Amino acid sequence: MISFLKGFIEEKSEKSIFLDVNGVGYEVYMPTGSASQLPSVGEEVKIHTYLQISENGIGLYGFLTKDELNVFKLLITVNGIGPKGAVGILSALSANELRLAVLSDDDKAIAKAPGIGAKTAKKLILELKDKFHLEDALEEFAEPAKVQHTGKNDMNDAHLEAVQALVALGYSNSDALKAVKLADTGAAATTEDLLKSALKQLAFL
């Protein structure tokens, strides 16, 4: 199993890259969002990979983060979604956007992915809803706070508690998370501070 590749970008296309690893060229298929974040041709990069071996051939799929790879692996457990379909979904939605869509039952957002209809989108939500957690969605914007604030667990807890409080008030997971993310508070913000600011943000969502 190839868990990752580290090499120099030889060529880039819309759907894949060619990576030179010690003189061996690998074609790696990637979501368009990840591909757009790659450095220039000739520069070195590390790609987390998934190797598919089937009767139709061998395919190598790559991701910039382990999180995106893990979400990809969850997607291909859904009946009717193969590696190419999963890459298509992650091209239309980031890993975090997909979590939000699943947690808030937003099948329309998922159905926008190429080759994914409304029926498959609803099936995806049904099968993955218990495997996605709001805490994981919070990590994306809690990460900067971890660097700036020594009480990183307090910062995580404050954001999480604020989101949970908004959900308890009847707001969707998606809206609650967006509002807390947009909340204009300092690094030492308490749950109460975040709630007050998030409620103001919700008036504009």
Domain map of the chain by residue range?
Answer: 4-63, 66-128, 134-202
Q: Cα dist. 6→3, 73, 122, 126 in Å?
A: 10, 21, 37, 36
Q: Do domains 4-63 and 134-202 have the same CATH topology?
A: no
pLDDT at 167: 82
Overall fold of domain 66-128: DNA polymerase; domain 1 (1.10.150)
pLDDT 10s digits, 12-67: 988 899 999 999 999 999 999 898 899 999 999 999 999 999 888 899 999 999 99
The answer, yes or no, to whether residue 168 has pLDDT greater than 80, is yes
| 152-168 vs 191-202: helix crossing angle, rounded to 10 | 50
Strand-pairing partners, residue 29, are 16, 61
**Amino acid making up residue 158:** A
CATH architecture assignment, domain 134-202: Orthogonal Bundle (1.10)
| 26 phi and psi angles, rounded to 5 deg | -115, 130
What is the CATH superfamily name and number for domain 4-63? Answer: Nucleic acid-binding proteins (2.40.50.140)
Residue recorded with tokens 């074609």: 27
pTM of this structure: 0.73
Tell me the C-alpha distance between 50 and 63, whole Å: 9
Average pLDDT over residues 98-113: 87
What is the predicted pLDDT for the residue at 153?
39
